[in-house]
Amino acid sequence: MTDAAKQATDAARLHADALVWDQTFPATPTCGSWTSHYGALERMKASGYDAVSITVASDPDDALGAIRRISMWRRFINENSDRYTLLASARDAEAAKKAGKLALGFSFQGTTPFERDIGLVEVFYKLGVRHALIAYNQKNHVGDGCHERTDCGLSRFGVELVREMQRVGMLVDCTHTGRRTSLDVFEMASAPVIYSHCNAAALKAHERNIDDQMAKACAATGGVIGVNGIGIFLGDNDDSTDALFAHLDHWVELLGAKHVGIGLDSVSDPATLTATVQRQSDKYPAGQGYETTMLRVSTPEQIPQLTERMLRARYSEADIRAVLGGNWLRLAREVWKEIA
């Protein structure tokens, strides 16, 4: 057996044995149809995924819309319990791995579903929402987004909301969020904070990417950064595995493997995403690559390739397991709480 063949065999074995957890799958109408979302989940299973966090609502969705989406997904899980299970604890991810199922968790890309009602944080947590990012590109009642005209910090309501999220065990996510607002979150954090799907500005200058200082501030809370597969955040609309690995490797070199994970943001229908982005120029400003003819997006099938790429770069087996899903599992153990 050649060295390359042995390496491929070793990578396949490691990938099959490791817990694979993707912290971002945007399964909303702006990213594809329900049929395409369901198909993407099957592709994830075939690519060795064990757990995935589904975006069920975003800014500016309201509470009722979020509840309806959660209801739909919970019904889907119940009706397909031979293949899927609800992801509400670290144990659920481990049990899904053992049973050959895919554990599905819920998240918000924004805080408008809470509707300025702090009590809804615990309600949505009980329904399965395990992380929520602060602001999606624009300003909301909590703080500024990364594409906002201003760079202000957390509002008074935002401070209260972050405290409540951390009290109940919901991970605070600073993806898509403005710099000063994110720094306020890190400064007041009493538990790990995450960037569920963010790339390195050091490799690709883009308002959606984060610089090394922000990454270090996140890691200092004990948090994790998930590498993102959107081509314009990776490079010049580059969705290749090499581009994905370059950002992952940058984070590992900067922060250590214990602070890096997968948050592929792999939309099920790039054409729908492209049309959405070009229709909503207020959320996706000009000059940031959004006007490209077709947004390219890394796919679940590239995660096994990423495992082989890490092995080829001489990452230790322990570090590869941590990046593939072990770090998200660790945060689930540390942060998520059982609430009656």
Average pLDDT over residues 164-185: 98
Specify the pLDDT at position 338.
87
Average pLDDT over residues 177-181: 98
Q: Would you say 76 and 35 are in contact if contact means Cβ atoms under 8 Å apart?
A: no
% of the chain beyond a pLDDT of 90? 96
Average pLDDT over residues 167-190: 98
Q: Is 57 helix (H, G, I), strand (E, B) or coil?
A: strand
3-335 architecture in CATH?
Alpha-Beta Barrel (3.20)
Average pLDDT over residues 245-255: 98
Q: Mean of the per-residue pLDDT values for the chain?
A: 97
Q: Over 90: is that where the pLDDT of 99 sits?
A: yes
Q: What is the band of 339 on the pLDDT scale with cuts at 50, 70, 90?
A: confident
H helix intervals, the chain: 3-17, 34-46, 63-79, 90-99, 119-126, 156-168, 179-188, 212-220, 231-234, 241-255, 270-279, 302-312, 317-321, 327-335
Residue 333 CB partners (closer than 8 Å, separation 6+) = 90
Q: Over 90: is that where the pLDDT of 4 sits?
A: no
pTM: 0.97
Q: Over 90: is that where the pLDDT of 124 sits?
A: yes
Residues 8-33: tens digit of each pLDDT? 899 999 999 999 999 999 999 999 99
Q: Where are the domains of the chain?
A: 3-335
CB atoms within 10 A of CB 5: 9
Residues 23-69: tens digit of each pLDDT? 999 999 999 999 999 999 999 999 999 999 999 999 999 999 999 99
With CA atoms as reference, report the closest residue to 219 among 253, 193, 183, 249: 193
Residues 68-81: tens digit of each pLDDT? 999 999 999 999 99
Q: Over 80: is that where the pLDDT of 3 sits?
A: no
Radius of gyration of the chain (CA): 18
Average pLDDT over residues 191-217: 98
Specify the pLDDT at position 17.
97
